[in-house]
Amino acid sequence: MRNAALEHAALTLGTAGHIDHGKTALVRALTGVDTDRLPQEQARGMSIELGFAPLLLPGGRRVSVVDVPGHERFVRTMVAGATGIDFHLMVVAADDGVMPQTLEHAAVLAALGIEQGVVAITKCDRASPRRAAAQAAELLPGAEVVACSARTGEGVAAVAAALERVAERVTPRAEGRREGAAVLHVDRAFTIHGAGTVVTGTLWSGTLAAGDTLALLPAQRLVRVRSLQVHDQPAERAHAGQRVALNLAGIARRDVARGDALADPAAALTPTQVIDATLDLRGDLHGRRVMAHHGTRAVPARLAALGAGLWQVRLEAPLLAAAGDRLVMRSVAPPDTLGGGTVLDPRARRHGRRPDVLARLERLRRGEPEPSRAAPPAAAAAPGPATAAAPSAPALERGAIELAERLLAAGHEPLSRSQLGAAVGASARADPGGRRRPDQP
């Protein structure tokens, strides 16, 4: 019999909306959990960090909630929390209506491809929801709009019911990744006395269990999962799409942070600094320096337009991206969300608008498989005297090949294999100290 916990695919709900519109208060009314856990958040009455809570929907389905800060200074934190969500709860205050961070959070959701959600018009005990509801319907057409008050409790049950209707029809972002290798992008790291280092995140793919060995990236360190929790409850195994807390052995708190990733070594997830992507961006951004957001990490990058919505993203620091992952692009100054899209080639070479490259990217955008390269036909042996074979380049050592691969990943054009072979042959004529013999030029 199928495990009842797996009857519904794991889903994560993310809040969005302007500061002081009541996101955290509504989450508390829905879940009974105050996600403002830090003393400074309690003192200021303002979310600064990501908050988390389990939500039990009316029909018995459990989803994870990520509560994000609404202040413009913390949009980077909001993006880090939103990258793992499946559907949204946009919160708009009845007395304010749509405000600047409402607009930017909506832009982030669009960049991440998060189309399904509910709009909650809060603070309806203070003002009529009519104007805010009309603005929200124009901003997010198709989203169900529900009026409520977290203070009085009016409409909160209706919000939960609307969320359940969306949960029934939304396609989990982890769909198709359940059987893959485990990948988790870290959004929080802390220490628990007597337990050690703990990290949290949404499991993007695969499964995790106590005792698993994972690679901490980009540091390339191996760590062991001592124990894990799902929805704040001890669990033997976590599945793709679930919010997970991992107690790690073999790593100190200072050596792991938001933006790192934990991956099964079989995932072959490697840092990259050149990405080809399809992006939907505002304005002429060719050559523009931006902040590229992926997973829970954000790094500076330079954009190169390739035409027809194809772009090369040249990163100043590595990201841990895979084909099909989502990207968000934000301007450096003034900070603003410019758009986003999908990774086509996470380990691209630095290139321009070459027709063969563009044709390949178009195939990737259409979801077509890479064409297989047929082996060249063997040349027929010509009659006559045997011809001496051309001398082959010396066999390359593994170190030389790895160096070429690193240069390639960094966007450089490394020497060809024959050139590298010639260089290896030349270095072989040097003495062990690296000096050429007197008889060499």
Q: Do residues 351 and 251 share a domain? A: no
Q: Do residues 15 and 130 share a domain? A: yes
> pLDDT category, 70, cuts 50, 70, 90?
confident
The single residue listed with the structure tokens 């990744």 is 177
**The predicted structure's pLDDT at residue 73:** 76
Question: Helices 75-82 and 100-111: crossing angle, nearest 10°?
Answer: 40
Is 199 within a domain? yes
CATH for 124:
3.40.50.300
Contact between 87 and 117 (Cβ < 8 Å):
yes
**The predicted structure's pLDDT at residue 162:** 98
CA-closest candidate to residue 121, choices 89, 147, 90: 147
The CA distance from 381 to 332, in Å, is 63
**The predicted structure's pLDDT at residue 193:** 83
Residues 170-219 pLDDT 10s: 998 888 777 889 999 999 999 988 889 999 999 999 999 999 999 999 99
Is 38 within a domain? yes
The CA distance from 20 to 96, in Å, is 10
Q: Do residues 66 and 126 share a domain? A: yes
Q: State the residue range of the domain holding 203.
A: 183-267
Is 376 within a domain? no
Q: Do residues 53 and 137 share a domain? A: yes
* Average confidence score pLDDT of the chain: 85
Q: Do residues 322 and 248 share a domain? A: no
| Per-residue tokens: 435 | 């000096």
| Distance (Å) of CA 235 to CA 117, 223, 227, 247, 366 | 29, 19, 8, 12, 39
Burial 22-60 (b: 16+ CB within 10 A, else e): bbbbbbbbbbebebbeeeebeeeebbebbbbbbbebeee
| Preceding amide of 218 cis, omega within 30 | yes
Q: Do residues 124 and 55 share a domain? A: yes
Domain boundary among 245, 267, 289: 267
CATH for 242:
2.40.30.10
Q: Do residues 32 and 158 share a domain? A: yes
Residues 367-416 pLDDT 10s: 987 776 554 454 444 444 444 444 444 444 555 545 555 554 444 444 44
Tell me: pLDDT of 308 over 50.
yes
